[in-house]
Amino acid sequence: MTASSSDERAFLDVTRSLSGRQWADRLNPVGRNRALAIGQTSGLPDIVARVLAGRGVGAEGAEAFLDPTIRDLMPDPSTLTDMDAAARRIATAIRNGERIAIFGDYDVDGAASAALMSRFLAAFGIAHEIHIPDRIFEGYGPNAPAIRQLVDNGARLIVTVDCGATSFEALEEAAGLGADVVVLDHHQMGVKVPRAVAVVNPNRQDDLSGLGYLCAAGVVFMTLVAVQRDLRAAGEKPGPNLIELLDLVALATVCDVVPLTGLNRAFVVKGLQVMRAMGNAGLAALSAAARLDGPLSTYHVAFLLGPRINAGGRIGDAALGSRLLSIDDPTVAEQIAAELDRLNAERQAAEAVMLEEAIAEGEAEIGGDGAGGTGPAVLITARQGWHAGIVGLLASRLKDRFARPAIAIAFDANGKGTGSGRSVSGVDLGAAVRAALEAGVIEKGGGHAMAAGLTVRRDRLGDLRAFLDERLAADVARAMANDRLRIDAALSARGATLDLIDLLEKAGPYGAGHPQPVLAFPNHLLTYSRLVGRDHVSFSLQSSDGASLRGIAFRKAGTALGEALLKGEGRRFHLAGTLGADFWQGRRRVQLRLIDAAMA
């Protein structure tokens, strides 16, 4: 191991792990004092206190953090710019019995947002329809032909959810046809606002609500609260119990990978409680199709339910997800869930082939797993024949593999490329893509800090590489230099118990902005390892007192870490990862989900 260039002392003296990272204690001296105070005032176990302190929770806020409520954390919806105008127009449409069209996006957030609005309107008996654009033929967001069709179908009001904030031409078309539009979105946008009755977006330039971390479903939920308030003030009959719709908000919040802090945390905590009751026929059917084991958690939502809903938008019928989440007929829900399960398997097979090609291209450009920081600041892989609906997944895998922002582009036979990118913490990819659009390097583009989409011609691919490399090189270098694995605590295999997992769950749910506790297991003997599936490594480790622990290293085969495990039986390692419980033959067992390791 080499000496660290940082003044921060390396945890377990790991200055360069098998993944090329330094390990560091998540808590500095101030954080350790905060953890001590949390433990003393709340009576929480030390490890839970450390987890809370490591995520910025103080002793005075620990109790409220562990039991977040919508009432305490949701501000008046009117704090959002244009909210009153949006609520007033939707409430008027409900009072007048107008036909409403919902225009959504093809991902989980879009499907959940559309279903949320649909269920609310259905409770009032309002005629409505949902339109989800085809990813390949229509692209992202409202388009003029679809708008014309919705108006021809009788819509006097069009509500866009998870899209619309930058759809200037399509919204002009709606206005020309005499239809009103209310935009409910959360994507980044410039100073210019499209023509609409209201554009509710916490990320618009003149919004001071501080709610920019919400996903679209969170914005829609707040809008429905405002609409219901407007209707109640006018003496209308009460609408649906909005708390019962929080399962959709939680689903979208987890799957859109927005920070699980503030109001989002309350949405997910309370939404998971609603979800576990399985009152939504579509979610119940999808849970059965995904063969869920154990109590439903954010893990199940992110890795089992979300990918299946997304599969419709990626390679099948884009409207399947919103239809599933809106439906009350269990039989039809089972049919849709089965189709999404089939499409997800098809997506996985296509992704595996594309990923192999993309990794080969990445290794040729960067070498190895990119841990050394060589190569371009932004890895861009591209190929004709790739499925445009899967490039976002490729970008995510490449970002993880090569430790830098990555973009995957699918070119058609005419040289038009549809690309999707994923970034690393500290590098605003969305802003760089919008700058590339303004510079004329790409034809379309947008997104947010951690994810972006774009359209580029093949003959401008070199220009795009050069533009992003020049713009983001310093940010990526800084991010790589600061890329440390933050460890919450160290323990042995004997301490990794189901009781500990249950204790740690008290500080959950975990996700973006509220990461799952990372635990280190110092100087453990690797007693067994083997390849499972295409690229996972299963292993067992043993502490000095003879206690053993099972582990899994997802998608690590072919990396330096994976190869060290596969060849390391009988050797000692420091290992770091998260603890979870899986179910085997009806029995709940502890499992270490490995993130990193170093030779002991």
278 burial type by CB count under 10 A (0-12 exposed, 13-18 middle, 19+ buried): middle
Residue with tokens 């019928």: 317
Are 221 and 184 contained in the same domain? yes
- Residue 546 falls inside a structural domain: yes
State the pLDDT at residue 373. Answer: 58
pLDDT (0 to 100) of residue 295 = 81
Q: Which of 277, 312, 340 is the last residue of a domain?
A: 277
Among 277, 304, 339, the domain boundary falls at: 277
How do residues 292-349 score in pLDDT, each as one tens digit? 877 889 989 999 999 999 999 998 899 999 999 999 999 999 999 999 999 999 999 9
pLDDT tens string 466-515: 999 999 999 999 998 888 999 999 999 999 999 999 999 889 899 888 99
Same domain, 462 and 497: no
Residues 88 and 225 in one domain: yes
249 and 374 co-located in one domain: no
CA–CA distance, 468 with 474 (Å, rounded to integer): 11
Enumerate residue ranges in the chain where pLDDT < 50.
1-7
Does 316 reside within a domain?
A: no
Residue 498 lies in a domain: yes
pTM summary value: 0.89
Contacting residues for 149 by C-beta, under 8 A, at least 6 apart: 131
Q: Does some domain include residue 136?
A: yes
Is the domain of 536 the same as that of 414?
no
CATH number of the domain encompassing residue 408? 3.10.310.30
The number of folded domains in the chain is: 3
Q: Do 463 and 552 belong together in one domain? A: no
Give the span between the Cα atoms of 65 and 590, in whole angstroms: 26
Per-residue pLDDT, 216: 97
Distance between CA atoms of residues 327 and 348, nearest Å: 26
Q: Provide the CA 17 distance to its chain's centre, in angstroms.
A: 27
Q: Which of 277, 292, 320 is where one domain is finished? A: 277
Examine residue 252 and state whether it is found in any structural domain, yes or no.
yes
47 part of a folded domain? no
Please indicate, yes or no, whether residues 512 and 579 belong to a single structural domain of this protein: yes
Residue 284 in any domain: the answer is no
Encoded tokens for 371: 């841990």
Are residues 181 and 122 located together in one domain of the fold? yes
In this structure, the answer to whether residues 442 and 380 fall within a common structural domain is yes
Tens of pLDDT along 227-281? 999 999 999 888 899 999 999 999 999 999 899 999 999 999 999 999 999 999 9
Read off the CATH number of the domain in which 164 is found.
3.90.1640.30
Same domain (yes/no): 85, 134: yes
**Which CATH number belongs to the domain containing residue 531 in this structure?**
2.40.50.460
Asked whether residue 135 falls in the same domain as residue 273, the answer is yes
Task: Give CA 367 to chain center in angstroms.
Answer: 28
**pLDDT score at 369:** 61
Q: What range does the domain containing 474 cover?
A: 366-482
Domain assignment of residue 324, yes or no: no
Residues 468 and 493 in one domain: no
Task: Report whether 143 contacts 170 (CB < 8 A).
Answer: yes
> What pLDDT, on a 0 to 100 scale, did the predictor assign at position 414?
95
